[in-house]
Amino acid sequence: MRHRKRVVKLGRKSAHVDQMLAALVKSMIERKQIRTTLAKARLARSLADRLVTLGKNGTLAARRRAIASLRNESAVTKLFSEIAPQLKDRKGGYTRIVKLGRRRSDGAEMAILEWVDIKPPERKPAKAEKVDAAAASGASK
């Protein structure tokens, strides 16, 4: 029986899972949102929420713990200086998971993981969107 066993391995060794989650959260800190599979988003959400709680604390010990788990000092600096102050009034639930549906290639459930009160930057349209927009503007002339 698997009662009270919350470990999700994702088919990887634990060191690989730790590195992957650190990379996901680092990208989320830099880009304000990430697009990944639902299982990875659920794991990354717990790490991101814990790191924001450390950022709200703001002590040197909290910063060192964040660097130890994230392995990137510039991302921790951005977390402590930009993201944590914007979320200081919330008591928890700093992230949101938006389900996107299934990926075409392998059918994996995809999701967007983003900060709740922080707007992501405007993204440039993809190449396919540019081609469609160019075709629509050329057809209207």
Phi/psi for 25 (5° steps) reads -70, -35
CA distance 93 to 97: 11
Q: Reply yes or no on whether the pLDDT at 50 is more than 80.
A: yes
The share of the chain scoring above pLDDT 90, in percent, equals: 76
The strand pairing partners of 113, in sequence order, are 34, 97
Q: How confident is the model at residue 47 (pLDDT cuts 50, 70, 90)?
A: very high
User: Which two three-digit tokens encode residue 52?
Assistant: 């924001």
Closest to 52 in 3D by CA, of 62, 41, 42: 62
Model-level pTM?
Answer: 0.81
Specify the 3-state DSSP secondary structure of 100. strand
Q: Reply yes or no on whether the pLDDT at 136 is more than 70.
A: no
In the chain the domains, ranked by start, together with CATH numbers, are 14-140 (3.90.1030.10)
Residue 101: its H or E element: strand 95-102
